[in-house]
Structure 1
Amino acid sequence: MASTSRLLLHASLPPPTTSISKTNSGSHAVIRSIWHNNGKYPKEKTCIETPLLLQHNQKHHYTCDQIKRKHFVKATHAQSKNEPEPQADSAKPIWNSIKDVMHTIQKFSVFYALIGLLSGILSSSLLAVEKLSDLSPTFFISMLQFMAAYSSMQLYTTGVNQLADIEIDKINKPYRPLASSKISFGGGLAIVAASLFMSFGLALMIGSKPLLWGLILIFILMTAYSVNLPFLRWKKSTILTLLSGVPTILTAYNLAPYLHMKTFVLKKPFIFTRSLAFTTVVMTFFYVVISLFKDIPDIEGDKKEGLQTLSIRLGPKRVFWLCISLLEMTYGIAIIMGLTSPFLWSKIFTVMAHAINAWILWFRANSVDLKSKEDFQSFYMFIFKLLYLENVLVLFVR
């Protein structure tokens, strides 16, 4: 019976003239069929049940084990191409976690204000330089130390304000970490306490009186501005907001770094130079505008909290154009002070730069939709960009 079936099978095979490539193709198909059906190759039946395969491979002197080993490697290699790389997959969640943490820190620290602080410190520190020899490694190390101490205080002031304004921020700024519960109240409290400790710790280690007294002033005024305690929470009043906000920013951004670098680092007597006078006047107007304008996009939450900001009393449109008028007046003062400069290059540069800025400001202000909260917020960021630019321009005033 077996011999009869074998004869019938051979009778059904193609004649000997059939090409090897066709035989090879058939053998691969049989092997793949066995692999996909069973998930493994049979130990002995593979060669017995496929005489066509044996007929082809006997000509090449392949053994059954060699055939199985050869096609097993091919099948395994093909399967491995479709499998995802575990390292690439595991790297993505780690990278996404890092980005999420950095994004949370950026929102918690109010990054645009931090950039304003650092650019102001750099600008005011350079104003204290009288000659190129003052730009020593000690100068830059001391400036970085100052930045570290005041950046920590910046984290304290923004943090304590967010801790006190969680319910307001759920309406006005729901993306902030505390309002969105990305950072718990206890976690925010720990960050604020650590930032305050680090700020004063660095100041005591450095030993600079301008640095230390500046931090004390900022700590007192910004705590009074934010904390909801009797006789505090000064943000409820526009006048108290200006009295706490403007001196704080002017001290942190301009006066304290100038005094620190001039008297403590360079060991030179304090001189109220023309450049410092220009910076003080122009930046004071900028900080008044920032203190008033920041409340325009926050009217909805401030009303529910019972705050009486100028934007609530007068309306966002009037406060908006008041701020534009103050900034245009600032550029006018800058142009007048530039015209009185004894240096021709400084006169030309100061007048031209501030005239161009005044035109850009007016053009940008007229494109704002006064009914859009998003437009108000975008213009608020534009004011900070003008502030960054002004920190550069003051270096050319002589």
Structure 2
Amino acid sequence: MNASTTQAYEPESHADQNSKNIIESIIHGLDTFRKFSRLYAFMGHVAGSFFSSLLAVDNLSQLNPTFFNGYLQYIVPHFFMHLYVVGLNQLADLEIDKINKPYLPLASGEFSLTNGIIIVASFLFLSFGAAWMIGSIPSFWGLLASFVLMTAYSVNLPFLRWKKSTILTVMSHVIGMTMSFNIAAFMHMKTFVLKNATSYPRSLFLVTVVMPIFYAVVATAKDLPDIEGDKAAGIKTLAVRLGSKKVFWFCVSLLQIAYGAAILIGASSPILWSKLFTVSAHALMALILWNRANSTDLSSNISLQSFYMFIFKVRVAIK
């Protein structure tokens, strides 16, 4: 009886173990892809491009399935381009990431160098392939700007590897993000999806004037937690040259200037409710930012990384 009982339950035990292993393998694979894709950065792209797309809407009746389908046509190729950009940066910074970000799949060895190259090349092909199939010229130019600028930022070739220069780093991020997050998204929805004549509303002016300040801060503040690895690689970022404290408060000052500009532009609005909301909302965000900055431990890389992630949140809030 004991022998027959063991035989009856043994196959089920193996089946359960196999199912558990498969589930664990899937979960591990998804987590590895999450770390590779840096999805928190792409969420900023989604928020920026979506709100810029809304600026192209002339009346609420245009918020229909055509609008949302058109937005998906924009964001999908840009998601593939985002994966190319973050993957290429991990390939180019492999030795640096072993110091600064050892948890990333390439730095930890979860992805081999060959696999990384195949993945990055595949996403680049998918990005431009999807854009070609959709046929949106504004979307294509946004992708091209991201490709050219961020490739020049990352790859270590003559006249490239722009991350070695603070000016070129800020320039590549500001131009690339402004084009991809804001201008290309607006023009895609305005001319390709809604089939309207090109126009430049006051709100677009706010976005294209204020948001580049945030993009400049993102390009500068991202190096604050990475000073150790950048020093070892001989990359003299602004944080390496001036120290974390000076660069940190420089970034905070730029953000306060951005909120101040948003308040001034909002105060000049002829619409009362828009004026009250814009001024009060951005004044509140400036206060929250100031309190958050004063609670940051500048001697802790974890605290600096947390503040960097906070910037992504306030960047969305300004929209």
Interval of TM-score (by shorter of Structure 1 and Structure 2) = over 0.9
CA displacement 1:281-316 (0-9 Å, x = unmatched): 121111010000001111111111111111011111
Q: CA deviation at 1:198?
A: 0.7
Aligned partner of 2:301 among 364, 373, 376: 373
List runs of 5+ in structure 1 lacking aligned partners. 1-34, 41-71
The structure-2 alpha-carbon separation of the partners of 1:97 and 1:81, relative to structure 1 and needing over 3 Å to count, comes to closer
Which residue is equivalent to 1:267?
Answer: 195
The answer to whether the aligner puts 1:219 opposite 2:116 as a matched pair is no
Deviation at 1:87, TM superposition (A): 4.3
Displacement after TM superposition at 1:136 (Å) = 2.5
Structure 2 gaps, min length 5: none
Per-residue deviation, 1:318? 0.2
Q: CA separation of 1:315/1:205 partners in 2, compared to 1, >3 Å: closer, same or farther?
A: same
Q: What is the alpha-carbon distance in structure 2 between the residues aligned to residue 90 and residue 156 of structure 1?
A: 34
Within 1, Cα distance between the matches of 2:18 and 2:129? 40
Aligned to 1:192: 120
2:157 to 226, 229, 246: 229
- Per-residue CA deviations over 1:58-102 (Å, capped at 9, x if unaligned) read xxxxxxxxxxxxxx9xxx59x989998544433322221111111
Corresponding residue to 1:170 among 98, 102, 111: 98
Q: Considering Cα pairs closer than 8 Å and 6+ residues apart, tell me whether 1 or 2 has the greater RCO.
A: 2
**Equivalent in 226, 239, 243 of residue 311 of structure 1:** 239
Alpha-carbon offset, residue 267 of structure 1: 1.2
Write the letter of the residue equivalent to 1:131. Answer: N
| Contact 2:106–2:113, Cα closer than 8 Å, also in 1 | yes
Relative to the length of structure 1, the TM-score reads: 0.77
Distance in 2, Cα, partners of 1:348 & 1:132: 22
Identity %: 55
| 2:289 corresponding residue in structure 1 | 361
Q: Retained in 1: the 8 A contact 2:81–2:143?
A: yes
Letter of the structure 1 residue corresponding to residue 206 of structure 2 = F
Q: Distance in 1 between matches of 2:80 and 2:10?
A: 50
With 106-115 and 225-234 compared, the bigger mean Cα shift is at 106-115
Structure 1 residue matching 2:107: 3-state secondary structure:
coil
Q: Which letter maps to 2:212?
A: T
Deviates more, 1:107-116 or 1:228-237: 107-116
The answer to whether the aligner puts 1:89 opposite 2:17 as a matched pair is yes
Q: TM-score, normalised by structure 2?
A: 0.95
- The aligned counterpart of 1:101 is 29
Q: Which runs of 4+ in 1 moved over 4 A?
A: 79-87
What is the root-mean-square deviation of aligned Cα atoms in Å? 1.9
Classify 1:209/1:81 alpha carbon distance in 2 versus 1 (closer, same or farther; 3 Å): closer
SS at match of 1:332: helix
How far apart, in 2, do the equivalents of 1:325 and 1:361 lie? 10
CA distance in 1, matches of 2:141, 2:285: 34
**Contact 2:145–2:180, Cα closer than 8 Å, also in 1:** no
Provide the rounded CA distance (Å) in 2 between the counterparts of 1:83 and 1:378.
Answer: 48
Q: Aligned equivalents of 2:60 and 2:110: distance in 1?
A: 47
